[in-house]
Structure 1
Amino acid sequence: MKKLIIDVAGMHCKSCELLLERSIQDIKNVEKVQASQSRGTVEVSYDANKPDEEAITSIIEESGYTLGKEVKLSWFHSNPRKYIETLLIALFLYIIYMVAKMSGFSFGGFGDFTSPTLGVAFLIGVTAGVSSCMALVGGLILGVSSKWNEEHIQASKWHRFEPHLYFNIGRIVGFGILGGLLGLFGSFISLSSFTIGVLTIATGLIMLLLGINLSDLSPRLSRISITLPKFLSAGVANNGGVSKHITALGSGALTFFLPCGFTLAMQAYAITTGSFITGALTMMAFALGTAPGLLGVGGLTSFLSGTFAKRFFKFTGVLVLLLAIFNISNGYTLMNLGGSSQIVPSTGVVSSEVQEIRMTESDGGYAPNVFHIKPNMKTRWIINATNPYSCASQLTAPSIGITKQLEQGENIIEFISPASGIIKFSCSMGMYTGKMIVDSIESDTQTSLTPTQATIVSDIPTETSYSCH
């Protein structure tokens, strides 16, 4: 079999490869087509009769690509204006954030829900759609949708809105199926804080590439595209129908695994149902509640065009970059919760006294969030949860083996304090953190400026067991 190799510039993802392969495959005498973004070539295989090369090059050019070798792009722009614009946008977003924070706006959620019925699950979803979880799901769809519309700027408004609709359909259906599996299999699908941290960092890195692409900070990095593997896309790719949005559908479903406190709260409840139907309906109601917020953010990009569209893409690119840094930082926090505390286990000589610390959970985090405790002592950690379905409601302290979904009112966690070290704790996203500093017996005399001290409350029998309540 003979081959015709044509240099093509302008391919930037697997979809470009599939588009060219499908189009050229229909030309007479063509047996096989292999497009390669990385090599910048289209390889056409044929038998005895050579296909019409002019027809092939015509299809390539009509598809928006250029004949010839790809020009090697630089890492950075020579024009400093692009970076000045980026810094100004980042400064503007920071000012907006600080004004909102000083005005009392909570980025961790709001509302006081006490029972996760389907109606409440929907309302919690509505809350999540406008909360800090937008840093994960919202930031991701914002980057993807903006990039889609940047590439389809001449399409109709409805056509440019389609990816957002399919993303949310995939999210609702995926949450239903996976929520049902949680109801059936429960604890088999639980994730450690380290795993969640890795997942959060991976999400942040994807968003980082999207942000660089949209803000046009690096010509070379802007050519990197995150897509489904080609062997998965090829079977469903065609020129129309739902399958052209298979990536949006799949991405929406896979957001089930993104570490949002609201999502984990609903997942924890789905596990306790022990029912496929109840677990599925609960997670579908939650995902349906997030749809208005996600459609509102993503849908904005469907009604933009011209110069304003380019400016908006630049603005959203910087926003996605900031959210990416936020997620990477939180992921690093989660990965290091259990490994960097330098805990020295209890000596085995445990005092009969109980030390008690009290903390309040709200949609703004934990207060107080730094404690001094004594070593080798039975410790009672009393947490008053004022918003049990906020981002801070999923509490984890890996170094002492504690992960707990906080319930409305007082939650009691009991454990034996280690001989020394720092016990770090955090919400599921790594956004809200705190620590317990284990003081040596000799360091009882603390200054008045030290964090909250544990209170010795009583003598109790030594056989008392300690766990989460």
Structure 2
Amino acid sequence: MSHQQSFRVHGTTCGSCEIVLERELKTLPGVEKVNASHARGELTLTVQDGTHYRTEDLEAVVGKHGYTFSSDQHPAGHAPPSAFSWKRAGGVAVVILALYLVLQKSGLLVYSPTIEGSTSLAAVFIIGLVAAVSSCTAVVGGLIVAVSSANAKRHTAMSLREKVRPHVLFNTGRIAGFAGFGAVVGLLGQVLTLSSAANGFLVMLIALGMIAIGLNLLDVLPTNVVQPPKWLSRRVVALSDSKHPGVPFVLGAMTFFLPCGFTQSMQLYALTTGDPLRAALIMSVFALGTMPALLGIGVATSAAKGPALKWVTQAAGALVIVLGISNVGNGATLLGVAWPAHPVTAGPAPIVNGAQELQMEVTEYGVYAPEAFSVVEDVPVRWEIFGSNNMGCGSTLVAPAFGIQTALRPGYNTVEFTPEEPGTYVFSCSMGMMRGTITVEPNV
């Protein structure tokens, strides 16, 4: 016979914490089953009759990860973990707005088609660095330790090279797996790109998911928004028990599917690119960011704990939200809404052979030069566009108001249309990352 014990668990940040709690507490004598829920802040033990555990017993096992426990009853005046705080949300909103404005003005949210100019990859790398010392380390690092320890037990007289081998294989597999699965994610985004409007709605939906994950990391919205099935995460973790020499490599690749909020936000970010190569680049850069800490797992996990760990985790959560807000702008652009509005500094377009002539370059740095034009209504426009050799998402030009969605090739391209209504209209690349405006003036 068995019975259940319920506890409140504190210090969890995402689905990875559930896996850590369930795996480690399952080793306690008399424990038959463990069920942890980050969203509800609950832990339930199914134990054999005659077995009883106190909060101190649980903390002795998993307290090293920053988890604490209390009874299943809420003390008077204390809200449950999922309570929403307007005061906290307001403070977070101010910080995020300031961070967004700073990064937007500095150009760090621009995703350039070239690797060298992809300044937003720096943000991806930073998020990887933080993810590696967050609660995600407890499960990913635990897998590394499990594999290397099992290897050490099987081969007691190992050289330093042999001891390091599982760690190298794990991290190599992680980078390769994140690149490969990232490419699949990017391909999925490409397949889902049906039209500029549909793509705009998709990008905005993904962006909202990123924002929700960021809010989750900030503890403003504790409920898990998006995560893989728990059975899949358990299967990945169970791989660490295998004795096959290739397991570290496979295990590293399969960590792509572990429920880490940071990983999920980057997967959504990669999906918005709609490009397998760039999505693979984003995910591999993220994995590279996690590598230094995972290679020195003991030092890394002991260096960032308690308040310091919580602070860096929440700072990275704010950065995830900023990337999400940036993608809201991308989606809005694809729907024909300028975000933010571009100031028009261009003079009227010259008329050559009865048509208004616009000249623009799609640069290798991920911008349109120039990015603002002025034309008059009811007069044909001939838009001459020079494409560089590395245009990225700029290889597709989208201008919803004028019915334009066309592929651009390196060299000279010509697009023709006739503006019919005065107003300021946006044009962009296929993912809304590169933006510009055309102002149509009344023909008087």
TM-score (norm 2): 0.62
Q: CA–CA distance in 2 between the matches of 1:27 and 1:320?
A: 37
Which runs of structure 2 are paired with 1:368-407 in the superposition (5 Å)?
A: 368-386=370-388, 388-390=390-392, 392-407=394-409
1:147 aligns with 2:134: yes
Counterpart in 2 of 1:349?
none
Cα deviation, residue 425, structure 1: 0.7
Cα deviation, residue 163, structure 1: 8.8
Distance 1:29 1:366, change over 3 A: closer
Q: CA–CA distance in 2 between the matches of 1:134 and 1:197?
A: 25
Cα deviation, residue 108, structure 1: 4.9
Cα deviation, residue 424, structure 1: 2.2
3-state SS, counterpart of residue 109 of structure 1: coil
Q: CA–CA distance in 1 between the matches of 2:412 and 2:51?
A: 77
1:193 aligns with 2:196: yes
Q: CA–CA distance in 1 between the matches of 2:336 and 2:328?
A: 12
Return 5+ residue gaps in structure 2 as ranges. Answer: 146-163, 241-247, 339-352
1:52 aligns with 2:28: no
Q: CA–CA distance in 1 between the matches of 2:16 and 2:283?
A: 27
Cα deviation, residue 432, structure 1: 3.1
Contact 2:199 2:331 in 1 (8 A): yes
Contact 1:420 1:438 in 2 (8 A): yes
The residue identity in structure 2 corresponding to 1:238 is A
Distance 1:25 1:68, change over 3 A: same
Q: CA–CA distance in 2 between the matches of 1:153 and 1:178?
A: 21
Corresponding residue to 1:131 among 116, 119, 127: 119
Contact 2:178 2:256 in 1 (8 A): no
Counterpart in 2 of 1:169?
176
Which runs of structure 2 are paired with 1:295-314 in the superposition (5 Å)?
A: 297-299=289-291, 304=300, 305-306=303-304, 313=313
Distance 1:50 1:207, change over 3 A: same
RMSD: 5.2
Distance 1:133 1:395, change over 3 A: farther
3-state SS, counterpart of residue 147 of structure 1: coil
Cα deviation, residue 294, structure 1: 4.1
Counterpart in 2 of 1:361?
362
Distance 1:187 1:255, change over 3 A: closer
Q: CA–CA distance in 2 between the matches of 1:108 and 1:39?
A: 37
3-state SS, counterpart of residue 356 of structure 1: strand
Contact 2:336 2:400 in 1 (8 A): no
Q: CA–CA distance in 2 between the matches of 1:88 and 1:370?
A: 26
Q: CA–CA distance in 1 between the matches of 2:291 and 2:190?
A: 36
* CA displacement 1:296-334 (0-9 Å, x = unmatched): 544465565248767655654554443333333333333
Q: CA–CA distance in 1 between the matches of 2:318 and 2:40?
A: 30
Contact 2:96 2:322 in 1 (8 A): no
Corresponding residue to 2:69 among 58, 66, 82: 66
The residue identity in structure 2 corresponding to 1:395 is L
Q: CA–CA distance in 1 between the matches of 2:86 and 2:171?
A: 31
* CA displacement 1:123-168 (0-9 Å, x = unmatched): x4x436x433555x55764564453467589989999999975553
Which runs of structure 2 are paired with 1:70-469 in the superposition (5 Å)?
A: 72=79, 73=81, 75=84, 90=99, 94=102, 107-109=110-112, 124=114, 126-127=115-116, 130-132=118-120, 138=125, 141=128, 144-148=131-135, 168-174=175-181, 189-208=192-211, 211=214, 219-221=219-221, 226-238=226-238, 240=240, 242-243=250-251, 246-248=254-256, 254=267, 258-260=271-273, 264=275, 283=277, 293-294=285-286, 297-299=289-291, 304=300, 305-306=303-304, 313=313, 316-337=316-337, 353-362=354-363, 363=365, 365-386=367-388, 388-390=390-392, 392-418=394-420, 422-442=424-444
* CA displacement 1:360-395 (0-9 Å, x = unmatched): 222252233333334445432111224542554432
Cα deviation, residue 230, structure 1: 2.5
3-state SS, counterpart of residue 228 of structure 1: coil
The residue identity in structure 2 corresponding to 1:127 is E
The residue identity in structure 2 corresponding to 1:372 is S
Distance 1:29 1:313, change over 3 A: closer
Contact 2:17 2:136 in 1 (8 A): no
TM-score (norm 1): 0.59
Counterpart in 2 of 1:120?
none
Contact 1:199 1:258 in 2 (8 A): no
Q: CA–CA distance in 2 between the matches of 1:198 and 1:146?
A: 34
Distance 1:164 1:395, change over 3 A: farther
Number of equivalenced pairs: 376
Distance 1:205 1:299, change over 3 A: farther
Contact 2:185 2:267 in 1 (8 A): no
Q: CA–CA distance in 1 between the matches of 2:388 and 2:229?
A: 44
Q: CA–CA distance in 2 between the matches of 1:169 and 1:427?
A: 29
